[in-house]
Amino acid sequence: MKHFFKWAILTFSAFFLEQILTIDGLTFNFSFLLVFLFIIDYFFPKTEQKKVYPSEILPLCYFIVVGLIEDLFQGVIGPAIISKSFTGILLMILVRQLFFNWTEIFKAAVILTFTVIDEAFYSFIVVYFFNYNISYLPLIKGFIVKGLINIPAGLILSWRKP
Amino acid sequence: MLKKTTIISIILIVLISFVLISYQSKGLLLFNKIHLYSLFYPIDYLQNFFNELLKTKDENRDLKEKLYKMHLQISSTNELIEENKRLKELLNLKERKKEILTIAKIIKRGANKFLKTVWIDKGKKDGVKVNMPVITINGLVGKVIFASEDFSEILLITDPNFSASVRVERNRIEGVLSGAGTNLCLLKYIPLEEEIMVGDRLITSGTDGIFPEGLSVGVVRKVDRKRGVFQNIEVVPLQSELKIEEVAILKSLP
C-alpha cells in the first residue's frame, strides 16, 4: 500500500509539473522519468527483498498507465502508450544485461538516450497518422533539450540506486 | 530475454493502440483532453487579480487615450461605411458582420507537444466552438481547435498547421498564409509575376469560410523571387505571440 501511494504521488507530481512548466513553448518529458525510476526501483530492489526473476507484467502495466495519462493530456489515445511501453521494455532488457556498471554517468547517458527514443517514437506515430506539418530540426533539438533536462532530475531521484 | 506473455501483451497493446490512433486520425473517435488548470486556476486568478489591480490606473489612462483616438477615427470613417453600405445594397452584396463572442484571458502557453497553441479561460459554457477566429486589438491570433466546458485551445497563426486565406491590402492579391514554425508566417502561392513589396499589409480575404474579411494579419518582411513557381514571402504577424494577454473570440461565419 505504501508503495502504491508513493508511486501515485510521484506520478501525479510528474504530470502536474509537466503540465505547468514550459520553456519558450517547449514542454518537458517528466513522464519518461517515471518509467526510468520504476525500472530502477523494481529491478534493483534492496538486497533483502531481491527477487529471483521479477514479473514483467507489473512494470508493463505501469508503463501503459503512464502512457495513457500522457495521451489523455494530449487528447489522442495511443501514441504515448506505445512509446512508453516500447521504451520501458527496451530499458527492461538493458537492466537485465549484467555486464553494465550503473555509474552516474551511465545513468545520465541512459536517461538522455531513452528520453530521445521515447520522444522519437511518439512524434513519429503522431506525425505519420495526423499529417502534422513540423520542422524536423527544432523537433530534434527539442528531444535533446528534454533529455538533458531529464538528466539532473533522474539522477537526483535515483541517487545511489542501483 | 523477455517472457512469452510479455511479448504477446506488447503486441496486443500496440495493435489496440494503432487501431485507436487510426480511428482518431480519421475523426471517427474523439477523446476529450484532460487538464489540470482547474487545480491551479484559483491561485492564478488571485495572482492576476492583484497584478491587474496595480496596473489598472496606467491602463485606464492608456485606454482613455485610445478611446479618444478611436472616436476620432470612427467619426471620419462613418461616412465611408455608410457610402459602402449603400453601394453594396445597390450591387446586392451581402455584408458579413464581425461579431465578438467573448473576451478571454490567456492562461497557458505551449501545452501541446506539436502545435503552437495557447489556452484561454473560456470554453463551451461561454459559447466557444471549434474553428472560431481569435483576434486581439492588433490583429489575427489564430483559431479555436479544441473547446472544453471551461477552457479552449487556440492554434496560433505561426504554427505550420495553421492556414488562412489572405489578401494584400495595397493591390488585393490573394494568397494563403500559414505559420513558419518560428515567430513568423509565410505567404504562399503568390506567382512570381505579382508585385509584393516589403511593408505590404495583409488582411483576411474571407474566402476560407472561417475568418471574416478585413482582419489585420501581418506585414511582409522579406520577399524572395529566386526559386520555384511561387514567391517565398515572410510575414511578421501584427500580434506578437509572446505578448498576447487577452483575446477576443469572434462568432463563426454564417
pLDDT digits (tens, 9 = 90+) for B231-252: 889 999 998 888 888 899 998 7
User: Looking at beta carbons, which residues of chain A come within 8 Å of B147?
Assistant: none
A13 touches chain B (CB under 8 A): no
Computed over its alpha carbons, how large is the radius of gyration of chain A?
Answer: 16
Q: What is the value of ipTM here, to two decimals?
A: 0.87
> CA angle, corner B230, sides to A130 and B238, nearest 5?
70
Which chain A residue lies closest to B44 (C-alpha atoms)? A20
How far is B124 from chain A, CA to nearest CA, in Å? 17
Q: Are A27 and B34 in contact (CB < 8 Å)?
A: no
- Output the pLDDT for position A27: 84
Q: Are A60 and B10 in contact (CB < 8 Å)?
A: yes
- Output the pLDDT for position A41: 87
- Alpha carbon distance B241, B236 (integer Å): 11
pTM above 0.80, yes or no: no
- Alpha carbon distance B170, B174 (integer Å): 11
What's the half-sphere exposure (Cβ side, CA atoms, 13 Å) at B111? 29
Distances (CA, A) of A145 to A23, A87, A142: 10, 18, 5
How far is B29 from chain A, CA to nearest CA, in Å? 9
B93 confidence band (pLDDT: 50, 70, 90): low
Q: How many CB atoms lie within 10 A of CB B14?
A: 15
Per residue in A48-91, pLDDT (tens digit) is: 555 556 788 889 999 999 999 999 988 889 999 999 999 999 99
H or E segment and range at residue B179: strand B174-179
How far is A64 from chain B, CA to nearest CA, in Å? 9
Which chain A residue lies closest to B178 (C-alpha atoms)? A133
What's the half-sphere exposure (Cβ side, CA atoms, 13 Å) at B31? 19
